[in-house]
Amino acid sequence: MDEWDDGFPSRAEHVHEGGRREEGDAMRYLSRDPFARTVLLRAVVRPLAFSQDCRWCGGVRRTRGGEPFLFRYGTEPDAIRSRVDWHSGEFCSKPCHDAYHG
């Protein structure tokens, strides 16, 4: 499984007021909730702090070059100039995020 080539469109063209600039290229839409009118997004977190790992399982992901990284997840309302509501914690995968926040 390669999270870097998973087919989701990049949203590098979208600038977030609250987002860290260096994460712009790594931020991706995951899914849209038509009822809540929000989109779920994911940002790559790296470089990691010392001993930083998945809050749920304690694992990390690695790039092809072996650099560890994690994902942060958030939701954004379907609105122009909206802000991303980042969920707490960094995770290695969506299932870990869901387990922690579920």
- Binding footprint of Zn ion on the chain (CB under 5 A): 54, 56-57, 59, 92, 96
**Alpha-carbon span 69 to 45, nearest angstrom:** 6
Find the shortest distance in angstroms from Cβ 30 to Zn ion.
Answer: 16
Find the shortest distance in angstroms from Cβ 56 to Zn ion.
Answer: 5
Find the shortest distance in angstroms from Cβ 45 to Zn ion.
Answer: 13
Nearer to Zn ion, 41 or 96 (CB): 96
Nearer to Zn ion, 56 or 69 (CB): 56
Nearer to Zn ion, 57 or 75 (CB): 57
Write the CB contacts of 83 (distance below 8 Å, at least 6 apart in sequence).
Answer: 16, 17, 18, 76
For residue 42, give the 3-state DSSP assignment: strand
**Alpha-carbon span 87 to 11, nearest angstrom:** 19
